[in-house]
Structure 1
Amino acid sequence: MSKDIFEPFEYPQGFQLFAGVDEVGRGPLVGDVVTAAVILDPNNPIEG
């Protein structure tokens, strides 16, 4: 995927970290739900 399709990102004033959060489950009321949060180092991007 080309990096050209992404807009430049700037942290809003006063913030230094952001967490990307996702959840997966079989429904909001029934069954197990798994959640995860990730904070990546903006100075060491992951290729791909």
Structure 2
Amino acid sequence: MEREADIAAKKAAVCGKHCQQYMKMDMRADKHQVHQRKETNKYGKEN
């Protein structure tokens, strides 16, 4: 259980950093919004 929790926490932390970056850029340009959706799908499948 601890190992699974640690792995999930690491993935969430990495995904969180990327999501924050894309969300900031998303407000500036719509192109990044499409890229953000692709990244979200990738992390969604991994999790």
Q: After TM superposition, is the score higher than 0.5?
A: no
Structure with a larger share of its residues in helix: 2
Larger radius of gyration: 1
Structure with a larger share of its residues in strand: 1
Q: Please indicate the TM-score interval, normalised by the length of the shorter structure.
A: under 0.3
- TM-score, normalised to structure 1's length? 0.28
Of structures 1 and 2, the one with the larger relative CO (CA 8 A, separation 6+) is 2
- TM-score, normalised to structure 2's length? 0.28
